């Protein structure tokens, strides 16, 4: 398949799956078995393209938090907790990455992560639905979200958004739209920092020269545009629906991959 067409399809797939709790990384790695493998820089950078969609959708919220830092205690507290969750991810995740603690990006561990994550989503949502409604972002929730992002990085197929949203739900933030908003906003510095680190790593390792920059840019733009549509749709969906269809989709896809795999895949 033409490299640019392949990059375009991967960008669209990233924009569709980054915010849905079904694992964008897992879907990208599975798709690349047919569309051709891409570099870590490509996979991380197009995730940042999808995160750019969140910046667009939440631009008024971000502006309100920025302008309220010195005048609004509520905005300041919320912004500090976003920063806290990001710092937890950075200070725990960077050593984990440097030490190479990550499952191999092959289909079997991704399939298991999809299944286990789907079951965990069903359990966490049932627990949250039985709890007293709350939209308070506590420091416990902020730390849990930060650690959940690290777990998602170590286990491809987990889904950063799913792990973080359901960590927030499990620790008391049981209003799904509020949990999604906090997780999406935490994802902005997280993914932009990850992209910057990946670019620096590629340059220092001498791999940047061999990168398909045209394909990466095309996929980045496609992920950003598709991401805007997906985020807006998801926020409307979770205001009146549960995450159960996504959980069952994960379980079904993971099971199909496991039963359809040759030995050792």
Name the residue ranges covered by the structural domains of the chain. 3-259
pLDDT greater than 70 at residue 79:
yes
pLDDT at 47: 84
pLDDT-derived band at 263 (thresholds 50, 70, 90) equals very low
pLDDT at 6: 92
pLDDT greater than 60 at residue 262:
no
Residue of 174 and 57 predicted with greater confidence:
57
Q: Provide DSSP, 62-92.
A: HHHHHHTTTT-HHHHHHHHHHHHHHHHHHHH
pLDDT at 102: 65
| CB-CB contact of 54 with 177 (8 Å) | no
pLDDT at 141: 95
> In Å, what is the CA distance from 34 to each residue of 1, 29, 30?
9, 9, 8
Nearest CA to 9 out of 211, 212, 222 is that of 222
> In Å, what is the CA distance from 105 to each residue of 18, 96, 113, 265?
17, 16, 11, 11
What tens digit of pLDDT does each residue of 99-116 get? Answer: 766 666 678 888 899 999
pLDDT at 261: 56
pLDDT greater than 80 at residue 58:
yes
pLDDT greater than 90 at residue 128:
no
Give the list of residues 6+ apart from residue 58 with CB closer than 8 angstroms, or none.
Answer: 181, 184, 185
pLDDT (average), residues 144-151: 94
- Spatial distance between the Cα atoms of 122 and 103, rounded to a whole number of angstroms: 24
| CB-CB contact of 48 with 220 (8 Å) | yes
**Structure-token match 């791999």, residue found:** 207
Give the relative orientation of helices 73-98 and 176-205 as an angle to the nearest 10 degrees.
40
What tens digit of pLDDT does each residue of 185-205 get? Answer: 999 999 888 888 877 877 777
Residue of 263 and 141 predicted with greater confidence:
141
pLDDT at 95: 86
């Amino acid at each position: 398949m033409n490299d640019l067409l392949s990059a375009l399809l991967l960008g669209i797939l990233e924009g569709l799956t980054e915010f849905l709790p079904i694992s964008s990384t897992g879907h990208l790695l599975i798709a690349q078995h047919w569309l051709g493998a891409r570099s870590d820089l490509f996979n991380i950078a197009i995730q940042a393209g999808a995160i750019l969609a969140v910046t667009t959708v939440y631009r008024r919220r971000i502006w309100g938090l920025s302008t309220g830092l010195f005048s609004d205690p509520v905005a300041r507290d919320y912004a500090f907790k976003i920063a806290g969750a990001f710092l937890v991810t950075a200070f725990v995740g960077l050593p984990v990455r440097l030490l190479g603690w990550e499952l191999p990006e092959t289909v079997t561990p991704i399939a298991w992560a999809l299944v286990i994550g789907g079951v965990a989503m069903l359990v966490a949502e049932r627990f949250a639905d039985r709890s007293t409604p709350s939209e308070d972002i506590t420091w416990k929730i902020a730390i849990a979200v930060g650690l959940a992002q690290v777990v998602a990085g170590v286990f491809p197929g987990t889904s950063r958004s799913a792990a973080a949203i359901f960590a927030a739900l499990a620790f008391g933030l049981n209003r799904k739209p509020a949990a999604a908003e906090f997780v999406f906003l935490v994802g902005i510095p997280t993914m932009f920092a990850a992209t910057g680190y990946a670019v620096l790593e590629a340059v220092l390792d001498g791999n940047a020269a061999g990168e398909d920059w045209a394909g990466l840019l095309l996929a980045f733009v496609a992920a950003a545009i598709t991401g805007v549509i997906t985020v807006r749709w998801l926020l409307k969906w979770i205001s009146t629906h549960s995450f159960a269809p996504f959980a069952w989709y994960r379980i079904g896809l993971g099971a199909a991959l496991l039963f359809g795999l040759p030995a050792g895949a």
